[in-house]
Chains A and B, each alone.
Chain A
């Protein structure tokens, strides 16, 4: 049963449709990534999920049709904090607004501060924090909330990778132990890939829902680039051995395959001494998003790595 369901939700704001016919569901213990470019409607979606913006049309069902509705927690890209209060007091105030009893607040607020690595700023006023620290404060505020669903709006995009990983581990723990669900809105393919399921949003519409690897396929297959093949016969042998069409572009030989990593392994073991290097270029989710927005069938692959 879906904990939160959006059915044909459209939002008209500022003379334009910020969301158009959005249908999404998130079940208990799920991490759903909403991946899209800036201005695609992610923040509007976050506000609709959190109940801060009423849809122009469509329905938002919280807690399933039979169950008692609850408030969806949200951490926004614009951090909510009181300048005059310290980091601890800010979180204590929000925990209080969530109706968390004092005994729990005393335990959970310091834990949340440590979790986002703001321990040294615990007694500092929020006005003294950098924008990065404020984003972390906002995440802590979201994690403190006593709700089965938490929406995090683009806050993971700017986090340092080690902190993002440790917070992700905490979310997985919450998901496992408490059945909590998370909706991670992001413009970063790296973050979207960490989610079990993604919904790709483009110009206010959900263009794709499924696994990140399935979405990546939109950008085409992996590209294997061969560097400096000394023997011209090697090219033919590789093409025959792997049943691929090798093309030459700017002096480099390359071919496309579905499973680049496996093929590179085979190449290195069989032809490793006949070439100087092999590059594997894997299309990223951003590439797939490019394809989606252009409506093209294929793009040049993006991130590369030397094998």
Chain B
């Protein structure tokens, strides 16, 4: 339960981060919109297939960047000083990443499902 709650806080942090928020939202939305508008384009077909992988990599990069910043700022130290294990902390970050990726994929699929 603690892991889930920490993951919630992590999602909040990513969503409120100006840069990360737009980067994470723009990729699936742009690819899905382009694919919907230009359905015959073969390059866009490949891009659509690769988009989930790209989104996963992007989320991983965002989490890594966040972790690096936390290590420098002292937040990681503060969290490690609490009784939650390192594994629990890592799991909460992974869980938040999975949730964000799921949200990205939901938006991606929803846009693709729209017929213009």
Give the Cβ gap from B33 to chain A, nearest Cβ, in Å: 28
In the bound complex, residues from chain B placing their C-beta under 8 Å from that of A140 are none
Query: Closest approach, in angstroms, between the C-beta of B20 and any C-beta of chain A?
Result: 9
Decide if A80 is an interface residue (CB 8 Å cutoff). yes
Query: Which one of B53-61, B73-81, B98-106 contacts A?
Result: B73-81
- Of residues 223 through 254 on chain A, the ones whose CB sits less than 8 Å from some CB of chain B are none
Which residue of chain A has the shortest Cβ distance to B78 in the bound complex? A80
A97 to B8, CA, bound (A): 12
Stretch from B10-18, B22-30, B36-44, B108-116 that touches the partner: B10-18
- Name the distance in Å between A207's Cβ and chain B's nearest Cβ: 27
CB contact list, A112-166 vs B, under 8 A: 141, 145
A80 touches B79 (CB 8 A): yes
Q: Separation in Å of the A3 CB from the closest CB of chain B?
A: 16
The 8 closest A-B pairs by CB, nearest first: A80-B78, A97-B82, A84-B16, A84-B13, A78-B74, A71-B83, A93-B9, A80-B74
**One of B13, B77, B81 near A85 (C-beta < 8 A):** B13
Residues of A within 8 A of B70 (CB): 82
In the bound complex, residues from chain A placing their C-beta under 8 Å from that of B80 are: 52
Instruction: Please tell me if B46 contacts chain A, counting CB pairs below 8 Å.
Output: no
Is A84 in contact with B74, judged by CB distance below 8 angstroms?
Answer: no
User: How many of chain A's residues touch chain B, expressed as a range?
Assistant: 20 to 34
A74 at the interface (CB under 8 A from B): yes
Q: Is the CB of A76 within 8 A of B74?
A: yes
**Given A73-B82, A85-B12, 11 more pairs with CB closer than 8 A:** A52-B77, A71-B81, A78-B77, A79-B78, A82-B13, A83-B13, A84-B13, A84-B17, A92-B9, A99-B2, A145-B82
Given contacts A84-B13, A89-B9, contact A98 B75 (CB under 8 A): no
Q: Which residues of B contact A73 (CB under 8 A)?
A: 81-82
Query: What's the least CB distance linking B80 to chain A, in Å?
Result: 6
Quick check: A141 and B78 within 8 Å, CB to CB? yes
A136 to B74, CA, bound (A): 15
Give the interface of B toward A (CB within 8 A).
2, 5-6, 9, 12-13, 16-17, 70, 73-84
Q: Can you report 11 residue pairs joining A to B where beta carbons are below 8 Å apart? A: A52-B77, A71-B83, A76-B74, A76-B81, A78-B77, A81-B75, A82-B9, A84-B16, A94-B82, A97-B83, A99-B83
Minimum CB–CB distance from A54 to chain B (whole Å) comes to: 13
**Contact partner, A84, options B12, B76, B77, Cβ 8 Å:** B12
A200 at the interface (CB under 8 A from B): no
Q: How far is the CB of A100 from chain B (nearest CB, A)?
A: 10
Contact (Cβ within 8 A) B12 A79 = no
Q: How far is the CA of A73 from the CA of B16 in the complex (A)?
A: 29
| Chain B hits for A98, CB < 8 A | 82-83
Q: Is A258 an interface residue (CB 8 A)?
A: no
Q: State how many angstroms separate the Cβ of A62 from the closest Cβ of chain B.
A: 12
Complex Cα gap A100–B99 (Å): 24
Contacts of A50 in B (CB 8 A): 81
Contact of A74 with B74 in the complex, beta carbons under 8 Å: no
